[in-house]
Structure 1
């Protein structure tokens, strides 16, 4: 299948918004469109056009139109809670019986050779309604251990019907293999593709540190601001620019003002694309508690900018080679974060050396080889259908046998208690 032209459909939450999953899906779709017919199905639509550029060869199909005045907003099913989309999924409140119905109608009639879901709840739609003749692949842009126990129970039941689960890091793939029993389902890691921004490499002379991401607690911009307070005291001509939007904006601004850093730390709002902003910096930093991949790190490296990141689960250690193209520091360690920033600020030759190494290393995330990895996966899955179906059947039989043994053990236990009671 990988060598011939096929029809590929991506299922995404909302291609009209802003986010890492949207960017990576569009990057991969464009790379696959060199050889295949590609469609992106967006569960929701809230604006006329996507915020990110879409390759003209890629078709966009929205399922539920939430724009004011659309016919869908008057559909009574829109006000009824979803029954198929898992309630434990973080986006559950944005789904409805209308979303359930549209997803089912689309998937049951879909003639794609390959269908790829891009978030847990959407992957459940794929498992429930995807045509059995298509290869059904679940991408995990989050991580196994960030899902609740309830959601993982739902995913374990539904993912068994799929052909593959693809994570963004080897570490997360290993967790899925160890913790989620999926006989006949290929579990593997394929990194996100990040295209060359087409910019000259940063000259690394600007006295600017940049960071980007959603302004939420898990990204630990509060810790970054604390760390930069000491940096600013020792290097008053350096500044920190934070790009993004989110619920923590007001609290972060209060921290900046309270520390007297208003002249050196600025909340810049969102920028798309972000690479031109990174190219104007000399260091890019991430203080996150957890990352499923680390898109901003790769985007910075593609601009020839060295990165400082917490060594958080699961992505940064698979992107950054400590001391070669960036620096890794322990999660939550303000002093280590401060020291790493000061190291790159004060050692210009090291900064330039790491920036050059970062630009070279980031080429491994080109969308073209990532797309070829998917082509190889399609061919492998198509060729192993029969053997994987046998593995799935064997696994199901073992599961039923284990269930029977469990019930027998329960009966024996009750019978033993009855006999012991009768002998008293």
Structure 2
């Protein structure tokens, strides 16, 4: 199959980009795969992409940021979508031209706004799959309405959790659209897993309010008071970096808690630790959870909706604690820190249980879905061809026309005669 991914910006950094690269690289083992990045803002991509997967861009922000059509608002990309301010009349035009030119068997959108353009503008000959990397509940009402209008034109919609797939099935009318849960894949790290001896708690993610790193720092203050030989290392960048730095100093944790900045890849950092933490308010999936587990770390996560509870088996390969509960988080951390054997056992279980997110089983599910949709589309086209009427010959058309003219003339004559009879009466 020829498969095309439509991505917001393949040159940036984030979970959607990483999981798209992972899936594209795994599919490239047996298929012709390309990534179309709407934007490009730098010379080299942050993530390394397998050379078997080609990537091209539609708008180069290094040279086209002031393009006359790029300063005009987009009309096709939905205004209620989070990324709308970055889209324009120029992106509408370039995306439409790109989609019209594709000869792909399957085209995959990777965010709601692009899914809308895919549904409205992609060739009907291609299988159109929209991916949801967030959740239906997190979308504003105006965007949900835009999706209700456009998504029935898709062939399939995939979510990263079964809970969100059920949400789409319940709340959206999508007749004929396959709605399937397809989790993100995480390759096996190329280094040995953690051995549970490192006295480090590791967290990774954007330093933004929704990730609740401040809660983690406050909970870790209780750990440091009892076990000052342990460290907390938080990886990532974001607008909360300065407030978090101030909080660390306010709590006197400058020898125990550290903001490490961005690390790509994270494999070498996970294995230095013995416990991973996720304290988000919501996690559509939880890439960092799986990454840590694949490195042999038990994960303590907030039991927020969707992702974590479908990944972590509480008490087996990690712990789930209530959202925003500082006491429960500190207690779970201390439970694992105090018990070396429990930490090792959970780490081993995390390593084993995370294998279900390896690219191989995930890609097998994706391939099966795509193959079924391609076959369904081909079968439908075949049935439509069989139902179409036999071609009509020109002579038949002429004869039919002659009969029609003669019949019309006879009908007119009969009507005239009947009219004259009435007059005579």
* The two structures share one fold, judged by TM-score above 0.5: yes
Q: CA deviation at 1:385?
A: 3.8
Q: CA deviation at 1:148?
A: 0.4
Look up the match of 1:45.
40
Look up the match of 2:227.
235
Look up the match of 2:311.
319
Cα deviation, 1:229-275, whole Å, max 9, x if unaligned, reads 11111111111000000111111111111111111111000000011
How far apart in 2 are the matches of 1:319 and 1:120? 24
Matched, 1:55 2:53: no
Is contact 1:286–1:310 with CA below 8 Å preserved after alignment? yes
Is contact 1:184–1:388 with CA below 8 Å preserved after alignment? no
Look up the match of 2:206.
214
Look up the match of 1:281.
273
Q: CA deviation at 1:128?
A: 1.4
How far apart in 2 are the matches of 1:275 and 1:178? 38
How far apart in 1 are the matches of 2:321 and 2:373? 39
Tell me which of the two structures has the higher relative contact order, counting C-alpha pairs closer than 8 angstroms and 6 or more residues apart. Answer: 1
Is contact 1:88–1:151 with CA below 8 Å preserved after alignment? yes
Q: Structure 1 length normalisation: TM-score?
A: 0.88
Q: CA deviation at 1:386?
A: 8.5
Q: What does 1:60-71 correspond to in 2, within 5 Å?
A: 60-67=55-62, 70=63
Look up the match of 2:131.
139
Q: 1:125 aligns with which of 117, 141, 144?
A: 117
Q: 2:354 aligns with which of 334, 345, 362?
A: 362
Q: 2:145 aligns with which of 140, 153, 163?
A: 153
Q: CA deviation at 1:82?
A: 0.9
Q: 1:182 aligns with which of 174, 185, 196?
A: 174
Is contact 2:105–2:374 with CA below 8 Å preserved after alignment? no
Look up the match of 1:304.
296
Count of residue pairs the alignment pairs up: 381
Look up the match of 1:333.
325
Cα deviation, 1:317-367, whole Å, max 9, x if unaligned, reads 111111111111111111000000000100110000010111111111111
Cα deviation, 1:81-118, whole Å, max 9, x if unaligned, reads 11111111111111111111000000011111000000
Matched, 1:91 2:80: no
Look up the match of 1:192.
184
Look up the match of 1:402.
none
Look up the match of 1:224.
216
Runs of 4+ in structure 1 deviating by more than 3 angstroms, as ranges, are: 383-389
Matched position secondary structure for 1:384: helix
Compute the RMSD of aligned alpha carbons: 1.2
Is contact 1:39–1:60 with CA below 8 Å preserved after alignment? yes
Matched position secondary structure for 2:131: strand
Look up the match of 1:407.
none
Matched, 1:167 2:159: yes
Is contact 1:185–1:388 with CA below 8 Å preserved after alignment? no
Q: CA deviation at 1:379?
A: 2.1
How far apart in 1 are the matches of 2:247 and 2:79? 36
Look up the match of 1:26.
21
